[in-house]
Chains A and B, each alone.
Chain A
Amino acid sequence: MHRDSDRHKLFSRRTAMLAGGKALLLSALVGRMYYLQVVESERYATLADENRINLRLLPPPRGRIVDRFGIPLAVNQQNYRVVLISENTDDVEGTLRVLGSIIPISDGEHRRILREVRRRRRFVPVTVRENLNWEEVAQIEVNAPDLPGVMIDVGESRFYPHGEETAHVLGYVAAVSEAEVTGDPLLELPGFRIGKAGVERIYDLALRGTGGSSQVEVNALGRVIRELSRQDGQPGAEIALTIDFDLQKMVTDRLAGESAAAVVMDVHTGDVLALASTPGYDPNAFNKGLSTDDWKTLVSNPRTPLINKAIAGQYPPGSTFKMAVALAALEKGVISPSATIFCPGFTRLGKARFHCWKRGGHGNVDMTRAITESCDVYFYEIARRTGIDRIAAMAERLGLGRPLGLDLPGEKDGLVPTKDWKRATMDEPWHMGETLISGIGQGYLLTTPLQLAVMTARLVNGGYAVTPHLTRDKVSPRATTPRPAPRYKSIGLSSWHLNIVNEATKAVVNGPRGTARRSAIKEEGFEMGGKTGTVQVRRITKAQREQGLKKNKDLPWKYRDHAIFVGYAPVHSPRYAVAVLVEHGGGGSTTAAPIAHDILLEAQRRDSARPGNTPPVSQADDSPGAAVKKG
C-alpha cells in the first residue's frame, strides 16, 4: 500500500496541475464572453438588428393627370394578377395545369413560372399572369379549392383611357432603365415605373410622390414576421392640364390617317387646348412592356409615330411666314401698305428667275392682296428691300427660332437664318437669293407647328409675347401652385401694322379671292382668319417647270408638298389660334385649311356652349375660364 500512496500523491499533484490548466481555459472562456458581450456588445446588437429588420419601401400612388375640366387622362388602374405561392401547394405542375384550363398559359410562360418557382424562396409569390379581366378573376375564385397556392393579387398600374388620342401630350411610363437610377430608392423597386415621355416625364417627380417605408422583422429566410413601424409616403400630385380633352379628341380624329400635327392655343393666356400629332401610339403598350417587334415597327414607320411633330417636327413655314416679312417691311418703312408691285409670275435676280406659284402672275398687287392671294413676287421684292436680318429679328419677336418653353420634353428650336448664322455655320457669305427665298418662308427657315401657333397668337392678341403652357397650375416637384394671371410683354409692334396684316389674313379666308375662301366659317360670329402655306420638299428644275408641273397627288407620298394653315377665330375678337400641318398633304388651302376650319369651329362651339367656359362638371370655383376671360 506504500506504493499506492506514492501513486496517490503523484496523482493528486498531477490532478492539481490539470485542474489549474482547466481553470485557465475556463477563464479564457469567461474573458471571451466578456469581450463579446460587454466590450463588443453594441456592435453585435446593431448587427443583430440589421439581420432581423428589413426596410421595405412602399411605393406611392402616381398622381393622376386630368384635362382642364377634370376628365381623367392618366389614371392608376387596379391590376388583377394571379400569383402562385409554391409552399401552399404540393404539386406545382398540377396546380398550373388546372390554372391553364381557366386562363391560357403558353409553354414559354409555363417554363418561366417553373423557373421562378425553383429560384425563389417557397413563400415568395410568383406572378403567373397580369391584367386579368373580371371574368377570369371570378373563374379563378370559383375554382379556388382546386387551385392550392393560387392567389389573386391586386396591384396598381398606369392606364391611359384614351390611348393614342393623348399619347403625345402625356407620354407614357415604363420600367426604370439602369441609367435612370438616381438616389431615389423607389427607382430600384422591381416593377416601378417612371415617366419616359411627355407630361409623364417632365413632371415625373411631382407625379411620383415620395415613397413610404415599413420596417419589418424578417427571419433568416426573409419571411416577414411582423411589421415594426410604418411611415406613409406622399402620394404623387394630381396634375390638371390646359388641354380640353373633347377638343383634343376631335383634333386627333380629324388628323387621323395623315402624318400631321395641330396645336390649338388660347391667344391671351397661352393655354394649349389641344396638341396632336398623328400617327400616335398606344402608351399602355409601353407600360406593359413592348415587344422588340412592336418597337421596330414603331421606329421604322416613315410617318414617325413616336415623334411629337407638334413640337419636334421642323418644317419651313412656307407662305405662313409672309406676315412676318410684311411686318418687317412695314416697320422698316420700305413699302407702304397701299403701294403696289407688279407680279408677272416671276422675278429676276441676276440671271436667276424666282417664280410665283401662279404661273401667269397676279398683276399689280398691294400688301393686302399679296397676303390674301399669297403672291410670291411681292414678297420676293419686299424681302429684298427689308434684308434678311430685319426679317429674322421680326420672326424671333413672333416666337420663331427658339424653344418656347412649353412643358413637354423634346421641343425643337426651329431655325431663323441670319447672315451671321450662315457665316458661322457654313463659312459662306449670305446671298441675296436666299433672302428672296426666305421671303416666302422657304430656304433655311424651319419652324414647328407650336411656333406657328404662337406666332399666330402674337399677331392677333395685340402683339403680346404669349408663351404656351400645358398645365393649369405651376408644378414643381414639391407642390403645385396656381399659375399667376399671365402678364405678357408687348413685342413692340405698331397696332396699325398689325391691323393691316390681320385684315389681310381675314380676307385670306373670307375675301372673294382668298386662298382659303372655301374653308370659311359661315356661322355668324365664328368667322376665322388665317394664312395658307404650301411647302415644297423637292427642288423643281427648269426642265420640270417647262414640262408642266405634276399634280401633288401624282407624286410619291414623300415628294408631295407639306400643307400648312395657321388660323385664328373669331375674327372680331380673336381668342383661339391654331396651326395645322399635314406632312406631304398637298396644298395648304386644300388640305390644311379645311382641318383648321373644323378645329376652330369646334373650339368656338364648345366655348359658346358653356358661357364663360364654365366646365360642366362641378368645378366652378377653380374654373380655368376665369383666367381665360381676363386675358
Chain B
Amino acid sequence: MATNGLSRAQLTLRQKLWQVPWLFILLLFATAAVGFAMLYSAGNGSLDPWASRQMVRFGLGVGVMIVVALTNIRLWLRYAYAIYAVTLLLLTAVEFGGFIGMGAQRWIDLGFFNLQPSELMKIALVLALARYFHAGSMEDVGRPTFLLVPLLMVAAPAALVLRQPDLGTALMLIIGAGAIFFVAGVRMWKFAVVFFGALGAAPVAWQFLRDYQKQRVLSFLNPESDPLGAGYHIIQSKIALGSGGVFGRGFMQGSQSHLNFLPEKQTDFIFTMLAEEFGLVGGLTLLGLYTLLLIYGFAISVSCRSQFGRLVGMGVTTTFFLYIFINIAMVMGLIPVVGVPLPLISYGGTVMVTLLLGFGLLAGVYVHRDMIIGRRGADEDL
C-alpha cells in the first residue's frame, strides 16, 4: 500500500492530467456561463462592464485551479500553516492600510488588484485546520485541550473580520470551521455546548454590532417597517423574485433589475435577477448545477484516502455551500442581508479567485486521492 501511495506521489504530469475530474470542471464552466449571461443582462445587453471582465478572471482562475490541482498535495500540507499565517497577516494589514470600500475595510490595494484577505482566509483556514486535524489521532480529537489551538485558529481571523466589520464572512469562517471540526470527529455534545454558549452570549454580542448591522437584523425581522430604508433591498428583491413566476419575464426583460429597483444586481442580488428573468425554472436549474457540484465535492472527499485530503475537500465543499445558501437565503428574505456573493455568478475578482483556488484544491484531492500520507506527512520528503 505504501509503495502504491508512493507511486501515486510520483505520478507524471501526464498521468495527473488524466486524473483531473474534467466532468467537475465542465460543471464549473456551465455554472460560470450562467453567471456570464446574467452579467451580460445586468449590463443591459452588453459585455461591458461586467461580463467580459468576469470571463477574463474566470479564465485566469481556471488556469490557477488546474495548477493547484496538479500540485502535489503534500506541498499544501507542508505550507498550510505558512499560508494561514501570511493570510492572517494580510487580514491584520487591512485593519490599517486597507482600502475603504462599501463602508467596510476589506481590500488591500495591490495596484492592479484589490485583494480581500478575508476571502483568501476561507481557504487558508481550511488548509490549516485540515493539517492540524490530520496530525491528530482520534484520541487527540476527543481531548478538549487538543481543540484549543484550532479554536484559536478560527477565532483570530473571525475576530479580525468582525472588526472590519463583515458579519457574513465571519459567519462563514466560523460555520465552515465548525463543519471541519464536525467531520474530523469532534463530539456532538461539544457542539451543543458551543451552540448554547453562543446563544447565551448573543445579547452581549448584540452590543458589539455596529448600528447598520443591528439595522439589518431588525429590518430582516420586519422589512415592511421601513420600505425605503433598510428594508428596501429585501422588499425589492422579493418583488423581483415573485414577479418572475415559474418561467420568468424573459432574458433581459426583468423590470425590477433593469429599471434599477433592484440594488446590487450584478453582485449580491444577482440570483434575484436570474429568478426574475428565468423564473422558478431558472432558479432551480442553477440550484441543480450547484447540487451536482456539491455532490462531486462530497464524493471526492469521501473517496480520499488521506485525512488531510478529506478535510480539505469537505472544508472547500462546505465553504462553497455556505456561499450558496447564505446568498440565496438572503435574497429571498430568509436571513438578514449579509454581504455574501453568489459563487461563480456574482461579479467580483477575489471571490472568483478564492473559489477557483478552493476548487483547485478539491480537484487536487481527487488527483491525489489514493496517496497515503502519514500523520507526520508534513515533514516527510516529497
Contacts and interface: CB of A to CB of B under 8 A. Distances in A.
Q: Are A and B bound to each other?
A: yes
Interface of A: 1, 3-4, 6-8, 10-12, 14-15, 17-19, 22, 25-26, 28-30, 32-34, 36-38, 40-41, 43-45, 47-49, 51-52, 217-221, 225
Interface string B341-355: 000000000000000
24 contacts: A1-B1, A7-B138, A11-B310, A14-B182, A15-B183, A18-B182, A19-B298, A22-B294, A26-B325, A29-B329, A36-B238, A36-B332, A37-B245, A41-B245, A43-B242, A44-B239, A48-B239, A48-B240, A48-B242, A48-B255, A48-B256, A52-B261, A218-B259, A219-B259
Interface string B300-319: 01100101001100100010
Contact of B246 (A37, A219, A225): A37
Nearest to B321: A22
A313 B185 CA distance: 103
A15 B307 CA distance: 13
Contacts of A48: 239-240, 242-243, 255-256, 261
Contact of A14 (B1, B183, B328): B183
Interface string B256-275: 10111100000000000001
Contacts of B184: 11
B284 interface: yes
A6 B259 CA distance: 57
A15 B332 CA distance: 27
A220 B257 CA distance: 10
Contacts of A38: 245-246, 280
B242 A41 contact: yes
Nearest to A12: B302
A29 B287 contact: yes
A4 B307 contact: yes
B291 A45 contact: no
Instruction: Among B184, B242, B244, find the residue whose CB has the most chain A CB atoms closer than 10 A.
Output: B242
B239 A47 contact: yes
B332 A33 contact: yes
Given A25-B325, A48-B255, A37 B1 contact: no
A4 B373 CA distance: 10
Interface string B150-181: 00000000000000000000000000000100
B121 interface: no
Contact of B255 (A6, A41, A217): A217
A7 B259 CA distance: 54
Contacts of B256: 48, 51-52
Given A8-B310, A37-B242, 6 more contacts: A4-B305, A12-B302, A47-B242, A48-B239, A219-B259, A221-B260
B334 interface: yes
B137 interface: yes
Given A45-B242, A217-B259, A29 B332 contact: yes
Contacts of B334: 28-29, 32
B284 A30 contact: yes
Nearest to A44: B242
Contacts of B321: 22
A45 B243 contact: yes
B125 to A, nearest CB: 17
A49 to B, nearest CB: 8
A223 B267 CA distance: 24
B298 A7 contact: no
B241 interface: yes
Contacts of B238: 36, 44
A48 B256 CA distance: 7
B283 interface: yes
A15 B314 contact: yes
A19 to B, nearest CB: 5
Contacts of B243: 41, 44-45, 47-49
A435 B269 CA distance: 91
A252 B287 CA distance: 84
Contacts of B301: 11, 15
Contact of B259 (A8, A12, A14, A52): A52
A51 B249 CA distance: 15
B321 to A, nearest CB: 5
Nearest to B325: A25
A120 B350 CA distance: 38
B208 to A, nearest CB: 27
Instruction: Among A1, A14, A33, find the residue whose CB has the most chain B CB atoms closer than 10 A.
Output: A33
A22 B241 CA distance: 23
A26 B182 CA distance: 19
Nearest to A34: B280
B35 interface: no
Nearest to A53: B255
A1 B280 CA distance: 48
Contacts of B298: 15, 19
A28 B137 CA distance: 36
A6 B283 CA distance: 40
A225 B242 contact: no
B131 to A, nearest CB: 15
A418 to B, nearest CB: 67
A38 B243 CA distance: 9
Contacts of B310: 8, 11
B111 to A, nearest CB: 30
Nearest to B295: A19
Contacts of A52: 255-256, 259, 261
B358 interface: no
Nearest to B301: A15
B372 interface: yes
A45 B245 contact: yes
Nearest to B318: A18
A317 to B, nearest CB: 66
Top 3 A-B residue pairs of the complex, sorted by shortest distance between their CB atoms: A44-B242, A48-B243, A219-B259
Contact of B241 (A33, A49, A219): A33
